[in-house]
Amino acid sequence: MVVTHRTDVRARIIDVAVRLLRDHGPAALTTRAVAEAAGVQPPAIYRLFGDKDGLLEAVAEQTMAGYVAAKAALAEAAGDVDPLDDLHAGWRMQIDFAIANPALFRLFSDPDRVRRSPAARAGRQILAARVHRVAETGRLHTSEQRAVDLIQAAAIGTIQTLLAAHPDARDPTLPDTMYAAVLRQLLTAAPDTPEPGGPEAHAVALRAATTHLGMLTDAERHVLTEWLDRIIDNR
């Protein structure tokens, strides 16, 4: 019973902190304000989270976990959707969420926090799965890891550029323009051209399928992926 009460109080405090951060920004996120809005005494925050940084960690993790769950649902619903359309949907979702929730974006985009966050790792895995689907089509001419890195870097840069501008001065075409620029670095041809081309694209596609090659031993699969990586990285 005590454990349940403690869990309920902790959840209520986090929900209040998320709302304060989203509606009023980081300056509103004081222990006194959070405690008052949650209907608890300030010492309760220290007992449950250690300090304000501990509360921020919990806020970041819960927010990111909710966002990642939404991304996972979107990815699962993609089904037979073209992999590039699915990738674009994930890109737009990340941009739109960050622009609508700038304080939350700044909180959970902190590099130190991202490295420690299970939700952040799960989000990267969802992006990696989307990229893997593109690789299987033969349209990717760079390694999957490099593609994931480029997409993440471009998305964060786009978000920061938009947030740095006054809302009335933001370029609404920037996200899609940047996405198209990234695709030109990743794909063998224009996004609407499904025909693969070049040895790198074939190598990427074959590497993406190596886990399904049950006729190979682990040692053979390891050698094959090494050879394919050499072809892929020969840029």
Q: Encode pLDDT of 212-221 as tens digits.
A: 676 777 777 7
Q: Encode pLDDT of 126-158 as tens digits.
A: 899 999 999 888 888 888 999 999 999 999 999
| Secondary structure (3-state) at 117 | coil
205, pLDDT greater than 90: no
91, pLDDT greater than 90: yes
Q: Encode pLDDT of 31-65 as tens digits.
A: 899 999 999 998 999 999 888 888 888 888 888 77
Contact yes or no for 183/191 (Cβ under 8 A): yes
Give the pLDDT of residue 2: 45
Higher confidence at residue 189 or residue 17?
17
Alpha carbons 183 and 179: distance in angstroms, whole number? 6
Q: Encode pLDDT of 169-192 as tens digits.
A: 999 999 999 999 999 989 986 444
Contact yes or no for 152/127 (Cβ under 8 A): yes
Contact yes or no for 134/195 (Cβ under 8 A): no
Alpha carbons 207 and 221: distance in angstroms, whole number? 10
| Mean pLDDT (whole number) for 17-35 | 86
Both structure tokens of 3: 């454990």
| Mean pLDDT (whole number) for 8-27 | 87
The winner for highest mean pLDDT among 77-81, 103-107, 164-168 is: 164-168
Helix ranges (H only) for the chain are 2-24, 31-38, 42-49, 52-78, 83-100, 102-108, 111-116, 118-136, 144-164, 174-186, 198-208, 218-232
Half-sphere exposure of 97 (CA within 13 A, CB side): 20
The winner for highest mean pLDDT among 96-110, 115-129, 167-181 is: 167-181
